[in-house]
Amino acid sequence: MIRHPDTDKRQLHQLIRSGKVVLGGNRKLKIYGKLSCKSGKRMLPKNRVFFTSESEAIHEGHRPCGHCMREAYREWKTAKSAPSGQTG
């Protein structure tokens, strides 16, 4: 996980162009989504984090964004509401 305040703009753009950063997230709300997400673009830079993969975001305890990742969000919500030991 890369925190936005810990990187400069040029370095961040290089990571995105190289494909090393593919998702963004909100550190406080524990939500991740696509870099193009309108919801994500509105968050404060101090709360913004970046991930190299969806599995990294999940490992860090984040959930999918309900706006830009609707299907992944639905799956997450279904799994969360299932009784213990069961998934969707």
Q: What would the pLDDT profile of 17-38 be if each residue is shown by its tens digit?
A: 999 999 999 999 999 999 999 9
pTM of the prediction?
A: 0.86
All residues at 6 or more sequence positions from 73 whose CB lies less than 8 Å from its CB, including other chains: 63, 64, 65, 66
User: Mapping DSSP to helix (H, G, I), strand (E, B) and coil, where does residue 45 land?
Assistant: helix
Q: 13, 53, 47: which is closest to 34 by C-alpha?
A: 53
CA atoms within 13 A on the CB side of 47: 15
> Given this structure, which CATH class describes domain 2-81?
alpha beta
pLDDT in tens, 52-83: 999 999 999 999 999 999 999 999 999 988 87
Q: Does the pLDDT value for residue 41 go beyond 80?
A: yes
* pLDDT score of 88: 52
Residues 57-87: b if buried by 16+ CB within 10 A, e if exposed: beeeebbbbeebbeebbeebeeeeeeeeeee
